[in-house]
């Protein structure tokens, strides 16, 4: 029996040693990124033998590495890193993979987050320019893209970002074919459609961040005017994440009391209380923030974190996200626009069929027609 126990212990030691060796990946400059425990650390190849670990630990069984909550974020710009920071600090996931083409910035962001590991929940943070690092992701968040140039048309911007996605999406699908894709790159509704076309994935697993943020801005502005918490103000912005978005005034409520029952002119041009100004401010919000600080980041990062939580926890919670709308509300085009959707582990499980006024329906259909016109000129 004693010999049997010894042989089992030795086997576990061998197994753990092999697992540590298998976690070593060679990079182009012949240095190694070693994944051990909570993060990636760089060692010279001469330090690959770590006798200290063998003296410190008595192996019992191999460590479990994957809990099925891995999230890959493509793009380490302001939006991508705000999303990563939100997910890690809110405990949405403790398994993050970062992908970008800018190797130095990528490594710097990874190291900066790893240095905060003691303040998080045993986070594993990896980064690489190689999409292989995204393998086995439950969610792939795409924030990468190019900015609009001065004087550049909307279609030209869409085409340039389409060309970017043509390099990104097939790689993500290759390594995580069962993942749910969340697109945050702008113009988000059209690029969600582009992702769906490129990926070949079912429509329920391709989601745009859409008007989830617009709706949050709307609720905040409502809360400021009503002097109650934003979480107690209920209302949705639907349609395009942009200038043609549609405020659903007919459904805005506090504690089930619809404001349209109290003010039948709410949201109209003839409303003496000028509630329409709130939606105007929602549309202008991003432009104002960009004018003041150069970019938007924190609010969209929090929005993406909320969507990731809903998917990873199979919450079946409702969020305004960009989804395939052909056949909904009389829309006949192949477009992705935002409606309230039920999100769970497989992405969108249901689209909420809100009762809309004739005006709201007309605005939504016009938004769909506008998206379809832009999409016609895209070259895949």
The rounded distance, in Å, linking the Cα atoms of 12 and 191 is 48
Which one is catalytic: 204, 241, 279, 319? 241
235-269 burial: b if 16+ Cβ within 10 Å, else e: bbbbbbbbebbbbbbbbbbbeeebbbeeeeebbee
Please report the beta strands in the chain, taking only residues with DSSP state E, as ranges in sequence order.
24-26, 32-36, 39-43, 71-74, 95-99, 124-128, 139-142, 180-183, 206-208, 233-234, 237-238, 246-247, 253-254, 257-258, 317-324, 336-344, 347-351
Describe the crossing of helices 298-312 and 78-89 by its angle, rounded to 10 degrees. 50
The rounded distance, in Å, linking the Cα atoms of 360 and 353 is 13
Picking from 163, 324, 330, 158, the residue whose alpha carbon sits closest to that of residue 242 is 158
Task: Tell me the two tokens of residue 57.
Answer: 């630990």
The rounded distance, in Å, linking the Cα atoms of 298 and 164 is 24
DSSP conformational letter for 196: H
Task: Tell me the two tokens of residue 93.
Answer: 């996931």
CA distances to 150, 190, 213, 334 from 79, rounded to whole Å, are: 21, 18, 13, 28
Contact 296, 213 (CB under 8 A): no
How many residues are there in the chain? 380
The rounded distance, in Å, linking the Cα atoms of 56 and 345 is 39
Dihedral of CA atoms 22, 113, 298, 192 in degrees, nearest 10, equals: -10
Active site residue 279: no
Contact 218, 348 (CB under 8 A): no
Task: Tell me the two tokens of residue 77.
Answer: 């710009």
Dihedral of CA atoms 289, 295, 298, 299 in degrees, nearest 10, equals: 50
Alpha-carbon Rg of the chain, whole angstroms?
Answer: 24
Catalytic residues: 241
């Amino acid at each position: 029996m004693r010999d049997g126990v010894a042989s089992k212990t030795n086997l576990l030691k061998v197994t753990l040693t092999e697992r540590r060796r298998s976690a070593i990946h060679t990079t182009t400059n012949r240095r190694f990124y070693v994944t051990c425990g909570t993060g990636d650390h760089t060692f010279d190849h001469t330090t690959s033998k770590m006798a200290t670990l063998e003296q410190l630990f008595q192996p019992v069984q191999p460590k479990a590495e994957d809990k099925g909550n891995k999230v890959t974020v493509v793009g380490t710009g302001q939006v991508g890193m705000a999303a990563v920071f939100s997910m890690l600090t809110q405990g949405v996931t403790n398994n993050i993979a970062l992908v970008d083409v800018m190797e130095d910035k990528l490594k710097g962001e990874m190291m900066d987050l790893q240095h905060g590991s003691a303040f998080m929940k045993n986070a594993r943070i990896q980064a690489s320019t190689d999409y292989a690092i995204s393998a086995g992701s439950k969610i792939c968040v795409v924030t990468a893209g190019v900015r609009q140039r001065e004087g550049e048309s909307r279609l030209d911007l869409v085409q340039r970002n389409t060309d970017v996605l043509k390099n990104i999406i097939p790689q993500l699908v290759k390594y995580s074919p069962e993942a749910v894709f969340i697109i945050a790159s702008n113009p988000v509704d059209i690029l969600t459609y582009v992702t769906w076309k490129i990926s070949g994935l079912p429509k329920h697993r391709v989601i745009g961040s859409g008007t989830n943020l617009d709706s949050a801005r709307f609720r905040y502005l409502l809360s400021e005017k009503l002097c109650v918490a934003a979480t107690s103000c209920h209302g949705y912005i639907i349609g395009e994440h942009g200038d043609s978005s549609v405020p659903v005034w007919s459904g805005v409520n506090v504690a089930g009391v619809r404001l349209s029952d109290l003010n039948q002119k709410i949201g109209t041009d003839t409303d003496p209380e000028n509630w329409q100004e709130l939606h105007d401010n929602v549309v202008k919000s991003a432009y104002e923030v960009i004018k003041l600080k150069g970019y938007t980041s924190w609010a969209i990062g929090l929005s993406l974190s909320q969507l990731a939580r809903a998917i990873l926890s199979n919450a079946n919670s409702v969020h305004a996200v960009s989804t395939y709308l052909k056949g909904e509300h009389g829309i006949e085009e192949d477009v992705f626009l935002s409606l309230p959707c039920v999100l769970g582990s497989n992405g969108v499980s249901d689209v909420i069929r809100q009762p809309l006024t004739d005006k709201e329906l007309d605005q939504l259909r016009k938004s769909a027609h506008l998206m379809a016109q832009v999409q016609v000129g895209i070259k895949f």
